Structure 1
Amino acid sequence: MGKRTRSQRRGSSPKNRVNSHRFPAFNKLPRKTDEVATIIDLIHSPAHTAPLAKLKFEDGTIGHFAAPEGTSVGQNIAFGENVTLRPGNVTTLDRIPEGTPVCNVELRPGDGGKFAKSGGNSAILETRMEDTVRVRLPSGKLKELHSKCRATIGILGGHGRTDKPLMKAGAAHHRAKARGKLYPTVSGVAMNPVDHPHGGGNHQAVHGPNSVSRNSPPGMKVGNIAPSRTGRGRRKE
């Protein structure tokens, strides 16, 4: 009997739990309105590509959110509809002028932010309508959102993190290990036949059809799964 494939091992129960101290905070907008918080610390979290700001509200509660560029320890962050347009303040999209860069944009009002959350990213508020706002996401796609969705004003911190090359496989190894990612990813044709259906042979090739049925058993479900077509296709005449 062969070994389980990579996808089968991923579907099993985890061997161990992630240490909670490695991920000290979550990047979500606190559910606060008409309040002011103070940044008491800037946190580096291995789970995020942008620095996190630790907030202390007037009632003593602690919250976290991704810090935009220009924010610093001791700065006051305002939450609500009537806030000044300065980096770090959180308000609804209907209160933000067109052309303003925003980050941590909510998909639904109150969900804590879903878009433009990676380091250095930002979305641009394009047009405002009656109940919806059109936002250009970092991918370039236009998205219509509810006008009461909140967003953080400014460009998210951590810009330029991808400019430095990894250079070594060891750097990629440590980056993946910090987040529990699998590295390196070995192709199936490079494995032995006991490890993968595409393994084995005198040279690296699939050695047969690469398409499998949608109803294939788990150990055989690799390659092109139930493809509508394969290859480059033919030009219609």
Structure 2
Amino acid sequence: LGFYFDPNRTAHLALLQYADGEKRYIIAPRGVKVGDNLVSGEKVDVLPGNSMMVKNIPSGTEVHCVENVPGKGAVYARSAGQVIIVQGPDPSGKFVQIKMPSGEIRLVYADCMATIGQVGNEDKLNVKLGKAGRSRNLGKRPEVRGMAMHAVEHPHGGGEGKGQIGGQAKDIWGNRIGTRTRKNKKTDKFIIKRRRTKQRPYSKK
């Protein structure tokens, strides 16, 4: 029926009217126009905006709004311009391998639903705010470098002129930064390849 702006997300919303007259919002896929018919089911045509189980999606297909647990709703690739590549089922047939936007390769249950295509509003990345006021209106506060602070305020602060940090980089509480913070070991078995990360020297693996 139409596309709408949502201040709480980068993607736009599309208003759908079902055959029984019920109306619902979905995240607007790229290329979908007003008047298009979208279908959701276990196995439907591979067209942008259609939703189906990942086990029935051909390898190499671009998808978004992928579930993590069947029936719990979309978790992955919901922001503007995001896309996931389906790489095919694993040997057991219980899972399907997907490639995340971060480069991570992981497994999801074969019965999880996914929407065909890319999330719309892909040009959001190119928008320039232009001035600090627009950023403040969005609720974002300034980020001050630790080296620009006094020594009493941050471990990187103080010194004569532009001094070096000296030693391992730390946050404001003195904890080492650059270390991996993932602690959900229950789902480690679903990750085949970690996402691309810039590992800081001397940081804990």
Same fold (TM over 0.5): yes
State the distance in 1 between where 2:3 and 2:129 align. Answer: 28
Residue type of the alignment partner of 2:53: T
How many Å apart are 1:131 and its aligned residue?
1.3
How many Å apart are 1:192 and its aligned residue?
4.2
Change (3 A) 1:109 1:181: farther
CA contact (8 A) 2:64 2:78 kept: yes
Are 1:203 and 2:169 an aligned pair?
no
Any idea what the Cα deviations from partners look like across 1:124-147, whole Å, max 9, x if unmatched? 111124111111112222111100
State the distance in 2 between where 1:140 and 1:67 align. Answer: 23
In the other structure, the counterpart of 1:134 is 97
In the other structure, the counterpart of 1:187 is 145
1:54 pairs, out of 15, 20, 38, with 15
How many Å apart are 1:73 and its aligned residue?
1.9
Change (3 A) 1:47 1:205: farther
CA contact (8 A) 1:94 1:133 kept: yes
In the other structure, the counterpart of 1:95 is 56
Larger CA Rg, structure 1 vs 2 = 1
Work out the percentage of aligned pairs sharing the same amino acid: 34
In the other structure, the counterpart of 1:222 is 174
How many Å apart are 1:207 and its aligned residue?
8.1
1:107 pairs, out of 68, 86, 99, with 68
Uncovered stretches (5+) of structure 2, i.e. residues with no partner? 180-199
TM-score scaled to structure 2, two decimals? 0.71
Change (3 A) 1:210 1:223: farther
Uncovered stretches (5+) of structure 1, i.e. residues with no partner? 1-39, 213-219
In the other structure, the counterpart of 2:137 is 177
TM-score scaled to structure 1, two decimals? 0.63
